Amino acid sequence: MGCFRNVGVKVRGAGRPRFLLLVFSLSLGYHWCFAAPTAPPRGSLTGRIADASGTARPHVAFRASGSGEASAASASVSDAGINLAKNLVGSGILSLPAGIAAFASSSSALWVSLLLLGGSAGLSAYTFYLIGKVCQETESASFGAAWEKSVQSGKWIPQWVCILECFGGAVVYAMVLGDVFSSSFQNLPVPAVLTSRSGVILLVSALVLYPLCCLRSFAQLAKFSLLGTLATSYVVLFVVKRFLDGSYAAGGQFFKAAALATSAHTSIFNPQMLVLVALLSTAFLVHFNAPQFFVELPPAKPTSEEKQQKLKDFSKVSLIGFGIASLQYALVMCFGFLTFGQAVSGNVLLNYDAADPWATVARLAVGVSMLFGYPMQFAGFRDGLLELGHIDRLPTVKHRLVTGALLAVAVAVACFFRDLGLVQAVEGALLAAFLVFLAGPIMALKLPFGRAPRARRAFQALIVLGVSFMGIGCAVNFGFL
């Protein structure tokens, strides 16, 4: 694979210990038989977004919940902007240093990387705003409704993109859990198979993720919403601190000589730059949630005079949210790369020494936040499939059985692939590019404001850019370029 020259795609073979599979199966059976069902939610689960970890990835309604009216507790511009930033900054931040390492080996690539980050943030913020404008023009309260009222065909496209994106998120979350907990548990006095990456993923999935994913309502997880914000903030501070204090530089406390790979390209301007663009597309992906952010801005039912002001407020929300996220991304991306160079892993936390207490805290903080954020991510995958089958609610036994089967699929993929950066880059090139570059312009072109000559050319250019990126990005990530 040509994606990351410093971090190859490591694939776990088929000889996974039967003992772990037995424990996983027995645990699933225990929770299925004895876990008490919780009360069903009020309204469609996919009608609202509730990522308790603060590390949200897309979890979206194809149809609006209830009447589609705005939440009674409307958000102010500043509150909505900060909440948007919390939704943006998640597991994608861990792979960004490897995005630089994919195409360069010197610090001279930082300015190019920052330009790419700024451009990606700007485009993502604009298309996020554009989806809100489409919602206003179509009087829609969900992404699916906006697509259906504007494009009026191909409803299956955003449905499947959402399902696959949520499935990818469930896989990524499980990979992160395996990475951070296995590296933290290596010195525990238990059999090595239980502290291996695959062993940790299977055990955590069976003992923690499965019962959480079986919950009918996630309201009780809301108390953990601060964990994700605290975890990502700590990771940013930790990565910056460890570069500045020189702990991993030559002569530092945790320095280890490594065979650093050198770039195969003489220029930093090469196709491998698209690996970073793909990772940034995934990191800035929150576009399926744009309708809720727009609907919850006051006023709930704007008059014709108030509509323009609401769009201006929504543009401010986009700038605040994507601006704050960009700052955090830039710090981790640059200082993570400066610390480890091309030896940086697809998950930067794996490069830090197991004896580094600050690193241990960072891994555990990220892991705990992922535990409580996983159910919302998984629910988007499961409920999206059920909605395709026009199934509103399953009986308790079938609900647990379907949850266990789908969770097993996500867990198996997470055990099979080890390179977090590669998975997120492929996901960004295939799925995030559609949401960031294509979805908004496609819907806008079907509406009156998108048919003006200047607007039409701009939207068509975005579509061409998105299609080109998807094609070239996939070729780069799969090693064809």
In a domain, 61, yes or no: yes
The Cα 291–Cα 439 span in angstroms is 13
Dihedral angle, C-alpha 76, 372, 409, 18, nearest 10 °:
170
Mention every residue, 6+ apart, whose C-beta is less than 8 A from residue 231. 54, 55, 362, 365, 366, 368, 369
Mention every residue, 6+ apart, whose C-beta is less than 8 A from residue 266. none
pLDDT tens across the length of the chain (481 residues): 334 333 333 333 334 444 444 444 544 444 444 443 433 333 332 333 333 333 444 444 443 443 334 343 445 888 888 888 888 887 788 899 999 998 888 888 899 999 999 999 999 999 999 999 999 999 988 888 899 999 988 888 888 888 888 898 899 889 989 888 887 777 777 777 788 889 999 999 999 999 999 988 777 776 676 777 788 889 999 999 999 999 998 888 888 765 444 455 556 777 888 888 888 888 898 888 899 889 888 887 888 888 899 999 999 999 999 999 999 999 999 999 999 998 898 889 989 998 899 999 998 888 888 888 888 889 888 988 988 888 888 899 999 999 999 999 999 999 998 877 777 777 777 788 888 889 999 999 999 999 999 999 999 999 998 888 888 777 766 666 6
Domain count, the chain: 1
In a domain, 12, yes or no: no
Residue 88 burial class via C-beta count within 10 angstroms: exposed 0-12, middle 13-18, buried 19 and up: buried
Dihedral angle, C-alpha 195, 199, 202, 205, nearest 10 °:
10
The CATH code of the domain that includes 438 is 1.20.1740
In a domain, 7, yes or no: no
Report pTM: 0.77
In a domain, 339, yes or no: yes
Per-residue b/e over 162-193, b at no fewer than 16 CB within 10 Å?
Answer: bbbbbbbbbbbbbbbbbbbbbbbbeeeeeeee
In a domain, 424, yes or no: yes
In a domain, 171, yes or no: yes
- State which residues form the domain around 117: 19-35+42-477
In a domain, 27, yes or no: yes
In a domain, 8, yes or no: no
How many residues comprise the chain? 481
The Cα 209–Cα 373 span in angstroms is 10
The Cα 263–Cα 104 span in angstroms is 6
